Amino acid sequence: MEPNEIVFIEQNIADLHNRLPQDIAVMDSLAQALEKIETILPEYQKFKEYITDIQNNL
C-alpha cells in the first residue's frame, strides 16, 4: 500500500470518528420520533375508524 493511500485511509477513519457523536445524536432523534409515531398510530387508527363510521352513517 502506498503512503498516500495510508494517509487517505487514516484521514477517513479520523473523519468518521469525529462524525460519530453527531451520527449517534441523529439516530437517537430518529428513535424518539419512531417511538412517538408508534404511540400515536393506534389513536390515529381509532380516529380513522370513527370517521369511517360517521361517513357510512351519512
Q: Where are the domains of the chain?
A: 33-58
Position 3 pLDDT exceeds 90: no
Q: Which residue has the cell 484521514?
A: 11
Summarize the confidence of residues 33-44 as an average pLDDT.
Answer: 93
If one counts every other C-beta atom within 10 angstroms of the C-beta of residue 57, the result is: 6
pLDDT band for 27, please (50, 70, 90 cuts): very high
> How many whole angstroms separate alpha carbon 55 and alpha carbon 51?
6
Q: Which residue has the cell 479520523?
A: 14
Q: Output the pTM of the full model.
A: 0.60
> How many whole angstroms separate alpha carbon 42 and alpha carbon 36?
11
Burial per residue of 13-25, b for 16 or more beta-carbon CB atoms within 10 angstroms, e otherwise: eeeeeeeeeeeee
